[in-house]
Every structure is written in C-alpha cells, then in structure tokens.
Amino acid sequence: MNAYIFPGQGAQFVGMGLDLFEEYPLAKELFNSANDILGFSITDIMFSGTTEELKQTNVTQPAIFLHSVILGKVCGDNFKPDMVAGHSLGEFSALVANGSLSFEDGLTLVAKRAEAMQKACEIQPSTMAAVLGLEDSIVEKICQEIDGVVVAANYNCPGQLVISGEIEAINTACEKMKEAGARRALVLPVGGAFHSPLMEPAREELASAIEMTQFKKPSCPIYQNVPTTSVNDSDEIKKNLISQLTAPVKWTQSVQNMIKDGATLFTEVGPGKVLQGLVRKIDSNPETTSISKP
C-alpha cells in the first residue's frame, strides 16, 4: 500500500514551484488563483523572493501547502494514495489530497492558521528546541519538572523530539536535557511555541473557521497527528485538526500505525525530503520515495 506524506514548516526554499508554474497550465492556473485568494503575490516570494521573506509564517505555510497540493494535482490520475498523513501544516495538504477539502478551502484555512499562529506568537515570546539522543519518556519527565510552559511538541522519530514553550523554560530544559545525556539540545530558529498550550488563542480562532468549512468524505484514510490512527469521518477530522495546534505532532506513532495497517511505500509530496528520512529512522522496512516533480 502506498502512503502519501506531506511536509510541514521548514521545508521551504526559494524557487519552489517555479518549474511547475512554467511547465503545467493547470499549475499556473492554481498559483494565480492562490494569489487572488491570499490577496498578495505569493508566487513572487516563492519563485524569486529572499529566504527571509519566505520564512515569515504567513508566507511559509501557504507556500509549502501550495507546492505539495499543486504537485499532486499535476500528477493527475497517477496520484493514487491508499492512505495519507501530513506533518503539522502538512495535514492540510493531505486533506486536499484525499478529497476532504477543496483546494480553495484548504488554502483559506492554511492562511487563517498562519495568521492566527503569528498573532499568538506576538502575545508571548516563545520558542522550540530539538532534543537528540534521549528517550521520549526522559524528555517528557524533564519538561514536567520545569517551572513555566514547556512541553513535548514533535515526536519526529526515535531519539528526536522537539520541545515547545516559553523562552526561559526552554533554555532551562535544554540545560537539563544535556545533563541527562542528550547528544544535543538546540533552540530552533522559529517564531513561537507551536503545538503547545501557548497556541490556545490561535486554536480558538482557527476552530471557528474550520467549523464553517465544508469537509467531504475522504477517498482514503488520513492518519492525523493527534490520534495517530486511521480517520475517515469528517467530523472527527475537523475535531483533530482543531486540537492539533495545541497538541503534539505524533509523527513516529502515525508512521508506525500506517506500517501496521499495510503501508509498504511512503511517497513524500512537496518540498524537501525530511519526512522520508524520518520514516527510515522509524522503520527501515518500507520503501521511501518522493515526488518533487511529476
């Protein structure tokens, strides 16, 4: 069975999507439509902007979504996932891929999500850090013992966990992680504490937008970041999508469940190859590949 997986924030690069725009009339049409929906020319930034411009949350998230989704659309009938999953933001791309969301609704929600997250970041200075080489349970225990907000946010693969929270709490946690034997505990260049309780204002804002959006019956199951198991029900998909902003991304567990349910090939759709690498670290048995160009 072929599992299609979709990357999240961090996979962006200048020039992304330009080849699609130039080669495929459908891609050009969708990119132009995206500029109209967003109210600014995201294609200018994607194709020829600076790394700094592309790094802004309100640009990064729609850019990665567009690259993944348009790539899938130009593959036409060859695009046949048996199951899908997305890492954080990638969950929205996955929901367009399995027909739950239309292209327009998906992009509108992603833009609202980025804007809401940006606002939540401005309310309180916060950040994230990658912890390498420690058991998940040790990382969780250290987070619980620290004053202030700090939580496990991204379970990327065994021995790689990202924590999220208030700046001071994150710095303290990093010191304690190193003392506990972490190979590295490294503060990341991100604008806020994604997938932590500090995203509650963004969750509330996004919840009303998701509630008002029409979700259709998916063509194949999605393994969402929150429950990590196969989901086919539209109401449940909505609920998990709302929870996702303040809950951890359980990527390791999602991939393990996809393999348990029969995934033998993981195809990464979108910029970069980060997710393929994570899949191989989680389980070396399935094959991995990517569509970065049809």
Tens digit of each residue's pLDDT (9 = 90 or more) over 179-222? 999 999 999 878 789 999 999 999 999 999 999 999 999 999 99
pTM exceeding 0.85: yes
- To the query of whether residue 48 is one of the catalytic residues in this protein, the response is no
Identity at 290, one-letter amino acid code: S
Residue 139 pLDDT > 90? yes
- To the query of whether residue 67 is one of the catalytic residues in this protein, the response is no
Of the candidates 87, 100, 195, 290, the residue annotated as catalytic is 195
- Quick one: pLDDT at residue 119? 92
Q: Which of 178, 185, 37, 198 is nearest to 117 (CA)?
A: 198
Residue 294 pLDDT > 70? no
Helix (H, G, I), strand (E, B) or coil at 287: strand
Domains and CATH numbers, the chain: 2-122+197-291 (3.40.366.10), 126-187 (3.30.70.250)
Helix (H, G, I), strand (E, B) or coil at 158: coil
Of the candidates 88, 126, 164, 254, the residue annotated as catalytic is 88
Contact predicate 67/16, CB 8 Å: yes
Provide the angle, in degrees to the nearest 10, between the axes of the packed helices 103-123 and 25-38: 40
- Quick one: pLDDT at residue 124? 86
Q: What's the Cα-to-Cα distance from 242 to each of 16, 35, 66, 237, 247, rounded to whole Å?
A: 28, 26, 21, 9, 9
* Per-residue model confidence as pLDDT tens digits over 224-271: 999 999 999 999 999 999 999 999 999 999 999 999 999 999 999 999
Q: Show the tokens assigned to 56.
A: 């802004």
The pLDDT confidence band at residue 11, using thresholds 50, 70 and 90, is confident
When pLDDT is averaged across residues 4-31 and rounded to a whole number, the result is 95
